[in-house]
Amino acid sequence: MRGGVLVHVPFRIGGGNVEKSDMKTIAIMTAALFAAAPALAQQTGHQGMDHQGMNHAGMMQPSAANPYGPDMMKMHERMMAAKGADAGETWIRQMIEHHRGAITMSQTALRSTRNEIRREAQKTIDSQNREIATLNAMLRKMGKNPQ
């Protein structure tokens, strides 16, 4: 609408003009969607939840099939704490913590797996250490302290 007057904008769907009845259907469906949006948003179940007050540690208890929960929690905490003077430095510092988390998880895998998985875990450790060295070199080049 422009100044209280409905503006007609012609467009095509499937190679043909949209008929007035099609426009009416589109308008009704659009109105229904906007009317339902607040109710749909409330149904997500996450609005109003106190995520900081939740005990995420209980959800991450290690088991024989998944011993990585504590490693992942530490990695996420360290990533969130890593900050820089700008977006680039913050990204580098958070990626370093991400790679360190991958190393820790791979070390856990080395202790609890065999054969091919152990080889892949060791390859992951080696590659992540190289990535950390590259990222720390970038920090030094920027005149920042490595981590």
Average pLDDT of the chain to the nearest whole number: 79
The Cα 5–Cα 2 span in angstroms is 5
pLDDT at 26: 72
Both 91 and 130 in one domain: the answer is yes
Q: What is the mean pLDDT of residues 6-18?
A: 52
Both 26 and 87 in one domain: the answer is no
Both 38 and 66 in one domain: the answer is no
Is the pLDDT confidence value at 1 over 90? no
Q: Could you report the per-residue pLDDT of 21-75, keeping only the tens digit for each?
A: 666 767 776 666 666 666 655 555 555 555 555 555 555 677 878 888 888 899 9
Could you tell me if residue 31 is inside a domain?
A: yes
CA 36 to each of CA 25, 39, 43, 125: distance values in angstroms, whole numbers, following the listed order? 16, 5, 11, 49
Could you tell me if residue 47 is inside a domain?
A: no
Two structure tokens written together for 95: 């990626």
Residue span of the structural domain in which 118 resides: 61-141
Both 76 and 119 in one domain: the answer is yes
Both 101 and 32 in one domain: the answer is no
More confident residue, 34 or 18: 34
